[in-house]
Amino acid sequence: MRTRKIIHFDMDAFYASVEIKDNPHLENLPVVVGGSPESRGVVCAASYTARRFGIRSAMACSRAVKLCPEAIFLRPRFDRYRETSKNIHQVFRKYTDIIEPLSLDEAWLDVTVNHIHSPSATWIAQMIKQDIKNELNLIGSAGVSYNKFLAKIASDEDKPDGLFVITPDQASEFLMELPVRKLPGVGKVTMKKLELFGIEKGKQLIAKEADFLIQHFGKFGRYLYKIIRGIDDRPVITHHESKSVGIETTFNSDLEYGEIMRQELNKLITGLDSRLKKKEKKGKTLTLKVKFADFKQITRSETNPFAYYNQTNIPDVVHKKLYEICHTQYPNQKIRLLGVSVSNFTENKKQDGKTVQLDMDYFLNKPHLLTEP
C-alpha cells in the first residue's frame, strides 16, 4: 500500500494578519480581532504581538484589555476573511484538488499524487508557504506526515511561519514524548482523568491496554488507543455535509430567567427556522445550548424519530428545556449565552405521494415497536 503524503496548512493569526496586511501601520502592534473591550464579546484572533501579553482566542475582550491596555481592538470582517481564504485555496489548487477545509484558515491537502508530479510533500509545503507569502503577503505553518492526525499535530510544532515533518520512521519516537493534552479531543475534563492514571505523555498512554482505555473512557478510549499509535486511516475529504444548523447569541448583560430571556429565545428559534429553510435541511435532533455567567456550558438535546423539527414544534421543546434548566437543574444562575441547533439530518423517502421517514437506528434500539400488537 502506498504511503500517503498529507499536508496540514494552518494560517498564523489569520484574522489579525489580514487586518495588518490591509492596514500596514498596525505592523508590530498588539491587534485583537473581536468584540469591543467594553462589550461582552470574545477574542476571535490576536496578533503575535498581542499574544506576548497573554491574550488568546476565545478570551473575554474585557480580560484582554486588562492584560494589554494598549491593544487595538477591531471588529471582525468575515466577508474579507472568506475572500482571502478563497485566494489561499487558489494557491492550494496549483498543487492538488484534494483539499479538505477545516475552517477559513486551515485545511488538509493530499499530495500523494499532485499536479506538479513532485515526490516530495515537504517541498510542496515549502512552495505553498512561499506562494502565499509572495502573492498574499501572509504567513502560515505547515505540517507534513503520512496521515491527517500527524500532519495536524506537526503544523502546530513550529509556529509561526513553520514547517514540521513527521516521517513514518519518526512517528513512534515523536508520539512517545508528545504531551497527551495536545491530542485532538483531549480537553480539560479528559486531561484531569488521564492525570489520575498517571498519563501525561504518549509513552504513558501507549502502555495502557485497549480494554483499560475503553473501560474508563468509553468510545474515546478506543480512539486514544489508535491515535497514540499513529493509526489514522481517514481520507482527505473534499466535501463535507453540515452535521447541524444552529444559531446562538451572547447577551449584552447576564440574564435571569424571565420574559426577556424567553423573547431572546424566540428570536433564536425564528433565526434557526430561517437558516434551516435556506439550507433546505430537516433534522430530528434539537439541541439547546446554555452558557452561564461563570462560563460553565451545558447542552440539552431531544430526538424525535417520527417528525422533523421546525418552527411549529421547536418552541415547546426548547422553552421546556430552558425552564427545567433554570428552575430545577441550575436555579438562580444568570445566563450569558443561548443557542439552538438542529442535527441528525436524514433523507426523505417518497411513498404513496407522502413523505415518509424511516429511522432504522431508532427501531433497532426499540425492537418492540416492530412487533404487531
- Compute the distance between CA of residue 191 and CA of residue 169 in angstroms, rounded to an integer: 28
| Active-site residue, 195 included | no
- The segment with the largest mean pLDDT, out of 36-50, 110-124, 269-283, is 110-124
Is 252 in the same domain as 297?
yes
Residue tagged active-site, from 106, 135, 157, 173:
106
Position 308 confidence tier, pLDDT thresholds 50, 70, 90: confident
Supply the range of the domain harboring residue 282.
244-356
123 within domain boundaries? no
218 within domain boundaries? yes
- Which residue has cell 490576536? 46
Q: Tell me the average pLDDT of the chain.
A: 89
Percent of the chain with pLDDT over 70: 92
Q: What is the mean pLDDT of residues 69-88?
A: 95
Q: Cell triple for residue 340?
A: 439552538
CATH number at residue 249: 3.30.1490.100
| Contact by Cβ (8 Å): 110, 5 | yes
Q: Per DSSP, what are the bridge partners of residue 335?
A: 255, 292
Residue-wise pLDDT for 244-266, tens only, equals 899 999 888 899 999 999 999 99
Confirm whether pTM is higher than 0.85.
no
124 within domain boundaries? no
Is 219 in the same domain as 249?
no
Choose between 118 and 345: higher pLDDT.
Answer: 118
Give the pLDDT score at 309.
Answer: 80
Which residues 6+ apart lie within 8 Å of 58 measured at CB? 42, 43
Give the pLDDT score at 348.
Answer: 46
366 within domain boundaries? no
The count of structural domains within the chain is 3
